[in-house]
Amino acid sequence: MGAKVEGFAKQYESKVQETTAAIEKLSDADWKKVTAAEKWPVGVTAHHVASAHEPIANIVKTLAAGQSVPRFTMQMLDEMNAKHAVEHAGCTKAETIALHKQGAATAAAVLRGLSDEQLAKGGTVFTGAPPMTAEEMVTRALIGHMDDHFGSIRKTISA
């Protein structure tokens, strides 16, 4: 593992710890508030983040191998996210934290299994969109995904 990969892994794990602490501090009332950005309850938004670690890590691994994600569109992603929100409307904080920790550990292991050279490889993630490198997927999706959604959660619970 190279220095760049190790830096991303540490940044990711730090973000995971920060996110875990944020989930743990949510009150029952906060859990049910609806976010302005996602239009989902806070708990569902947290569960969405928790459930995404492994799939995003798998996309990073695909890109790091110089491959593309076959036949995947933004519309498909939006539909998957909407379905997830409905299916997990009653998710609990305990199950969300467990899923978050499990998925994050798997994603961190995937990340640590890469070389710095692999971060520069890439492919197409979304059909019709420009290709991305594995590094871009790490920063935008693996790390950025938590930042985006937990920024929305913070705005919602402080409103």
- Alpha-carbon distance of 145 to 159, in angstroms, equals 21
Using the predicted structure, report yes or no on whether residue 5 has a pLDDT greater than 80: yes
Task: Write down the pLDDT at residue 1.
Answer: 66
Task: Write down the pLDDT at residue 2.
Answer: 84
- Alpha-carbon distance of 135 to 120, in angstroms, equals 6
Q: What DSSP designation does 126 have? A: S
Q: What is the mean pLDDT of residues 58-86?
A: 96
Residue pLDDT, tens place only, 100-136: 999 999 999 999 999 999 999 999 999 999 999 999 9
Task: Write down the pLDDT at residue 159.
Answer: 72
Using the predicted structure, report yes or no on whether residue 14 has a pLDDT greater than 80: yes
Q: Quickly tell me which residue has 């938004």 as its tokens.
A: 45
Taken in order of first residue, the domains within the chain and their CATH numbers are: 3-158 (1.20.120.450)
